[in-house]
Structure 1
Amino acid sequence: MMDPRVSPPPHTKSPQASWELRLLHRTSAMLLAGFVLMHLGNHVAGLAGVGLHLEVMEALRTLYRQGFVEALLLASVLFQIGSGARLLWRGRGGRSGWVAWAQALSGAYLMFFMLVHVGAVLGARLQGVDTNVYFAAAGLHVAPWTLFFAPYYFLGVLSFWTHAGCGLYWNVPVGHRQAVLGGMLAVGVVMAAALVWWLAAGIPLEQIPVRYLTPFVPNVHGA
């Protein structure tokens, strides 16, 4: 029995090939979500201090910076973007109800976020820059870049929880759907706000090494 206030996602009416693509997309998403949850947990630890964040980061890097793990994660990112774009296109014109649209729009934003974020991280690493918390926070301390990075990070975190919540929504008993999705959205809003605050205000500008600020202010000087 479906919730009468929303329609099922458009892929429920798709052929076998679409179902198989959706299954692969979901499987890849679960793998990637494991890394994202570790990454977000690492940032949440930073609310207790940058020192703790860096300690947790170094511990986690011993796992996800193994060559085969990095290759698997990068392949998952590329597959998520490609398969997500295909599913978005296939679902055009067939969506109704706010849950279906929230799932589609959050997925579209996640594709944009992954392209920008992973591209920036890979580019920085090729230049020998450590992509730690200072790399993430620098843009939030330099106007007008703050106007880009604040919503960029906020929507990135919120979209992750929204997309995951919408995916769960269609796969739990009808009586629990609203509670599950509402809980995921609440977690997303609170975590997104807390992490953006931490990056923008919890880490003082003077604590950020100059090399992380120079892409935004080329003539900056300091230690």
Structure 2
Amino acid sequence: MSIRQFHRLSACLLAAYILLHLANHLVAVAGAHAHIAFMEATRPLYRNAVVEPVLLACVLFQCGSEIWMTLRRWKERSGFVAWLQAGSGIYLALFLLFHVGAVLFGRAALRLDTNFYYAAAGFVRMPYALFFAPYYFFAVYALFTHLGCAAYWQVKARSPMVRRLAMGVPAGVGLVVALLIDLALAGMLHPLDIPAKYLTIYQ
């Protein structure tokens, strides 16, 4: 198999987890308690000795292969969609590396349960919120935009309207999902009572 084929296979494996992870964050629209309850119910599916190492390996390979393929074909790209796909892919790769690294650091070094409060603490402390709000927002939006670009190439031979819908619908959904997740983490949908052990990270 080529690197591109492995990249797609790795993407499919990660997509299953990422969709579950996004669903977990969307549940937070009902409150932090709902988010934590959903997380505790689903964690056994992915945080175990078999699945977690596979997911971590996929993250490393996906990020490395995305950056390598993007840089390798940098001069060959032309058109808005091609550059949008490259840009969203690079952002996602960097986000995954930093995000997974932060979660592992929180678990191993800080001895914290990296739940809803671990992420939300950065949204309620200034000036950190100025970083975390766009950081999360653009990660979610980049994911849906990247998927939309992939869908665009799949229907490239179809009418312009079909191509626009293939890219525009995922991007539009991503905009709504990203906004809802940011609002939930910022405590703008429900009041947040974040435990002090999470807030002290940003003192």
| TM-score, normalised with respect to structure 2 | 0.93
One-letter identity of the residue aligned with 2:151: L
**How much identity, in percent, do the aligned residues show?**
48
Q: Report 1:54-203 matches (<5 A).
A: 54-127=36-109, 128-172=111-155, 174-175=158-159, 176-200=162-186, 201-203=188-190
Deviations 1:28-66 (A, max 9, x none): 011101100000001111112222211111111010112
Shift in Å, 1:107:
0.6
Deviation of residue 204 (structure 1)?
A: 3.2
Root-mean-square deviation (Å): 1.3
Deviation at 1:174, TM superposition (A): 2.1
Q: Which moved more, 1:169-178 or 1:64-73?
A: 169-178
- How many residues align? The count is 198
CA deviation profile, 1:55-90 (whole Å, cap 9, x unmatched): 111111010112110001000000001101110111
Q: Counterpart of 1:6?
A: none
Per-residue Cα deviation, 1:178-223 (whole angstroms, up to 9, x for no partner): 1121100001111101110111123535x00011111111xxxxxx
Q: Deviations over 1:92-112 (max 9, x none)?
A: 111111110110000110111
Q: Which of 1 and 2 has greater Rg? A: 1
> Matched residues in 2 for 1:168 and 1:68: separation?
31
Q: Distance in 1 between matches of 2:176 and 2:19?
A: 15
SS of equivalent to 2:70: helix
CA deviations on 1:1-54 (whole Å, 9 max, x unpaired) are: xxxxxxxxxxxxxxxx9xx21111111011101100000001111112222211
Give, in whole Å, the separation in 2 of the partners of 1:132 and 1:34: 19
Q: Which amino acid aligns with 2:182?
A: V
Structure 1: where are the runs of 5+ without partners? 1-16, 218-223
Paired residue secondary structure (1:96): coil
Normalising by structure 1, we get a TM-score of 0.85
State whether structure 2 residue 191 is matched by structure 1 residue 209: no
Residue identity in the other structure for 2:35: H
